[in-house]
Chains A and B, each alone.
Chain A
Amino acid sequence: MASPVKSSPRDAQVMGAILKEMGVTEYEPRVVNVMLEFVYRYVTDVLEDAKVYCNHANKKSLDAEDIKLAVQCRMDHSFTSPPPRDLLMEISKHKNSQVMPLIKPYTGLRLPPDRYCLSAPNYRMSSHKAVKKHQARIQIGLPQFQQRINLSQMSMTPGGFIISGKLGAGGPHLTVVSKPGMGVPAVTIVTKPSGQQTMTAKPAIRISTGTSLNSLNQNRTFHQVVSTSSSHAGPQHTIQFQPLQSTTTSLITNQSMNPLKRKMEEDYDNPS
């Protein structure tokens, strides 16, 4: 609306002048503040980048070349502009030379292949009839720990390990993969980490990368395990553990444990 008041700082007056020159006559007063913030942030980013380039080139002091490079890199990164016209013309020429695809007759809903649709469920449910106690079907890691792990005793540390109280304190860390029963699909519910060490009433599931663990303990097998509490009141289904990432492969038998690969149903039913 009004141009900046005379008593406003010099920067604000400059910004007002720029807006006026670009033909912006009506604007809320907060616009000047937002623009100044943007300017400040942009300039500091560019200067910091320029400092990095200057150091990289082993120069004593910052000069125009560094700034130019910094500006250019930032332009390519944040302020991407649409592709140039000649590139667009070429792409469109190529695309438009293809014949129009025919329409399949007698189909109901005409949609792209399922991969490209949003019609797939983003969860899987296990209709769990048995009690909360899980049976550990596969032990991966130190074979001597063949005990049953009770859900209620799993806990989580910020480091991502699962410490089982039952397995004794001070012992090696063990993560156990428990397999679902035959023909029962498993479920992974992913929620934000609760960040608490002990169990919480809410489902607290964490997925963390394996790299942080590598440095910590090379000799063990680690699995990032999704753990959750089971204190839902009468849930129909419970959540099973699933391996999501493995950092060693030597002690793992039989399964191609690329946890990043989407698990197919068969993988669960077919452990060996």
Chain B
Amino acid sequence: MAGNEVPFSDSLKTQANMQQSLPFQNVPKADVSDKQTLLAVLQFLKKNNLKGTEELLKREASIKDDDVRPQTSSQSETDVSHALAAYKSADDPSLFTDYYTDLKTFIESCLDAHKVELSVILYPVFIHMYLEMVYNEHESYAILFFRRFSKEQEDFYQEDLQKLATVTKKEHMKGNELMESFKASKFVIKMSRDSYNHLKRYLQENKMKPLLNIIQEHLFIDVFDGVPRTKQQIDATSGALLGESERDANKVKVFYGLLKEPDINMPLEEEDEPPEGEDKPKKKKPKKDPLMMKKSKNDPHAPAFNRIPLPEMKDQDKMEKITAYREALKRVKVGRDNPPTICFYTVLNSYQGVTSIDMSEDSSLLCAGFADSTIRVFTTSSHKLRSMKTAAELDNIDRDADDVLERMMDDRSATDSKLLTGHSGPVYAARFSRDRKYLVSCSEDGTVRLWSLLTWTNLVCYKGHNHPVWDVEFSPYGHYFVSVGHDRTARLWATDHHVPIRIFSGHLSDMDCVKFHPNSNYIATGSNDRFIRLWDILNGNCVRLFSGHKGSVQALCFSPDGRFLASSGVDSVVLLWDIATGGLMAQMKGHTDTVYSLCFSRDGGVLASGGLDNSVKLWDVIKVLQEVDTDADTSIPSSVHVNDSTGLLIGSWATKATPVLCIHFTRKNLMIASGPAALTEEKSPHKT
């Protein structure tokens, strides 16, 4: 009746300022809180005139009447609501905002050294709080929370936040891939022990239970003993979808050396093995060459030759190697003082839309994949492209002739370019094999096709990805090729199997580019989730996880000696990674738009990059190697110095209006770049 109204509701409003001491001090704490709650409930019932229930509860809980003496009304009111507040849903949305602001103020109040490290946790905490609210269907609170705090997050997370903004109801969460990756995996943060202890103390003191829950469940804090990192160091390695890479991810030994080349009878050989007699050329110069020297020693970092089965070398391959070696002797040394000459091939009038360009290893062929599902192969040398004779004519040629490989080609069909049709969707990548006999291409229709460059026909169609395939690459030794696509897997195929022989999965979003390591034992994949992973082909494990890109990774390149990996993408920063440790070596900033192509010079001294900003930039890798601090303990993230001086840029050359889709160094270190001219108003479609 009268007891219902005002006092009770008043007390609810003053709930925020409760700091009541518990009336029963001499009783053990657990009992007290329980009893307190019971009494609070009884009070509540009394206030609302629920006499019957009150009696029942009193009897069941065996509470004596004298215990239920109402204290001063205001006190009892606040007691009631305080006790009940503990039972309010632990994720009461209004509490989240409070927790978040409290956390922010705490971080602000820390020492500068800890401040930067701790501020990294604001982003994942924000995300997970938001997701909790959405999950518990507190839509309006969630939207308010989001609006208030999203602008304060880092720039590189803004895109993800935009996607997050569309998730406002519980139903939205189901279909959204980004949400699923957030909910399923842990966000990794590296923190020094001091900062971590600081944080732990704060959380335990203030008993913020939901916050603690979130941090324990969704965050993985990789604690290291050392000096806290600077903002610059943290920024260098953060930006990936789920934080940084934990140190354990980069612990496995990687064989990054090159394979020991099988000894071929070459004019300048200095091997202990006796060379075969008959094909030995007449002249023999005892010239010392650094290229041959390296291969004769046993590299401890190199994998065993038979670690993965590789095709044996045929006579043709041996001839190829000898030619390559001879050309390599004439190689020009390129560097800062001697920048390479750049030859640019522009694809004009490509109304079909060029989506990819690639050059063969000896620079004699260039192929372009188009958005109208065709592939065109051009010849860059004076030799025209010929196709093989028909079966009837082949019967007539003399098979024992020395130039049988020439005779089997039909000269009547010699043209400058050949068209390959077969795909049913835009061709996103087309790559040559080393021996220039095959071309492998992938497209939006989910298939990977193998083409013969002798008959200019489609040999095999490999179906496995059911979703667009974004990139494909042939192994440097042939026989294997790997394809990556929208389904977040990389598949390793052998040309003689119609199903993949390895499947690499682990990325959270689709994989945009793939490259083989020069020793053909590892592949690197770059993905839309801003991670780069290095996979071991033998067992399919991910052996390295590189984080640091702030945008989708679109281009990768291994250095010729296999020790480093260069990567770049939508964030237009070129990063150089050390494969042995998994650490970032250098950050090269200069491009203003997405970078689509990277290439090291043949001696590994210069890195060239080109992209949508219509320019080619050269970077000094030798300088990076010189300035590397070899004493640094790479297991402590704070002691690793990332080289990002502006002095790394050797030069920048701009084209008129042609984005650079392919960069290639010939065997003699001449640089060739290629791109589709975008001279008209309407831009040709680019991949993603």
Contacts and interface: CB of A to CB of B under 8 A. Distances in A.
Interface of A: 21-23, 75, 80-85, 88-89, 91-93, 95-96, 98, 100-105, 109-113, 116-119
B460 A118 contact: yes
A88 B488 contact: yes
B540 A95 contact: yes
Interface string B483-500: 000111100001111101
B489 A92 contact: yes
Given A82-B487, A112-B497, A96 B309 contact: no
Contacts of A23: 159, 162
Interface of B: 159, 162, 165-166, 175, 177, 180-181, 184, 308-312, 422, 450, 452, 457-461, 466-467, 479, 486-489, 494-498, 500-506, 508, 510, 537-541
The secondary-structure label for the interface of chain A is loop
A96 B497 contact: no
A82 B180 CA distance: 13
A173 B166 CA distance: 65
Contacts of A22: 162, 166
B437 to A, nearest CB: 9
A178 B5 CA distance: 100
Contacts of B310: 103
B459 A101 contact: no
Nearest to A84: B180
Contacts of A105: 312
B433 to A, nearest CB: 11
A83 B503 CA distance: 13
Nearest to B185: A85
B308 A100 contact: yes
B486 A110 contact: no
Contact of A101 (B177, B422, B497, B503): B497
A102 B308 CA distance: 9
11 contacts: A22-B162, A23-B162, A81-B175, A82-B488, A85-B488, A101-B501, A103-B312, A109-B459, A116-B460, A117-B460, A118-B458
A184 B501 CA distance: 43
B460 A110 contact: no
Given A85-B508, A98-B501, A116-B460, A111 B159 contact: no
A77 to B, nearest CB: 14
B505 A88 contact: yes
Given A82-B467, A88-B505, A100-B538, A95 B500 contact: yes
| Residue of A23, A103, A110 contacting most chain B CB atoms (<10 Å) | A103
Contacts of B309: 100-103
Given A95-B540, A103-B479, A119-B459, A111 B488 contact: no
A22 B167 CA distance: 12
Contact of B486 (A21, A82, A85, A91): A82
A80 B486 CA distance: 12
Contacts of B461: 118
Contacts of A111: 450, 459-460, 495-496
Nearest to B507: A85
Contacts of A98: 501
B458 to A, nearest CB: 5
A95 B502 contact: yes
Contacts of B311: 103, 110
Given A22-B162, A112-B498, 19 more contacts: A81-B177, A82-B487, A85-B180, A85-B184, A85-B508, A88-B489, A92-B540, A95-B500, A95-B540, A96-B540, A98-B501, A100-B308, A100-B309, A100-B538, A103-B311, A111-B450, A116-B498, A117-B460, A118-B460
Contacts of A96: 502-504, 539-541
B677 to A, nearest CB: 21
B188 to A, nearest CB: 16
Nearest to A116: B498
A21 B537 CA distance: 42
A91 B503 contact: yes
Given A110-B479, A118-B460, A100 B501 contact: yes
Nearest to A95: B503
Nearest to A117: B460
Nearest to A28: B682
Nearest to A96: B540
B175 A92 contact: no
Contact of A117 (B166, B180, B459, B540): B459
Nearest to A105: B312
A98 B422 CA distance: 32
A-B residue pairs, 8 tightest by C-beta:
A96-B540, A82-B487, A116-B498, A88-B505, A92-B503, A112-B498, A110-B496, A92-B505
Given A112-B496, A112-B498, A92 B504 contact: yes
B479 A113 contact: no
A74 to B, nearest CB: 12
A105 B181 CA distance: 44
A232 B457 CA distance: 29
Contacts of B510: 82
A113 to B, nearest CB: 7
Contacts of A75: 175
A153 to B, nearest CB: 37
Contacts of B538: 100
Nearest to B510: A82
Nearest to B449: A118
A255 to B, nearest CB: 32
Nearest to B485: A82
Contacts of A116: 460, 498
Contacts of A88: 487-489, 503, 505
Nearest to A88: B505
Contacts of B497: 101, 112
Contacts of A104: 496
A89 B495 contact: no
B510 to A, nearest CB: 8
A109 B459 CA distance: 10
A93 B537 CA distance: 13
Contacts of B541: 96
A81 B461 CA distance: 23
Contacts of B460: 111-112, 116-118
A164 B508 CA distance: 65
Contacts of A100: 308-309, 501-502, 537-538
A135 to B, nearest CB: 30
A43 B69 CA distance: 63
B565 to A, nearest CB: 22
A103 to B, nearest CB: 5
Contacts of A95: 500-503, 540
Contacts of B508: 85
A236 to B, nearest CB: 15
A121 to B, nearest CB: 11
A166 B502 CA distance: 63
A95 B489 CA distance: 12
A37 to B, nearest CB: 20
A94 B386 CA distance: 44
A101 B162 contact: no
A118 B495 CA distance: 13
B438 to A, nearest CB: 9
Contacts of B487: 82-83, 88
A20 B310 CA distance: 52
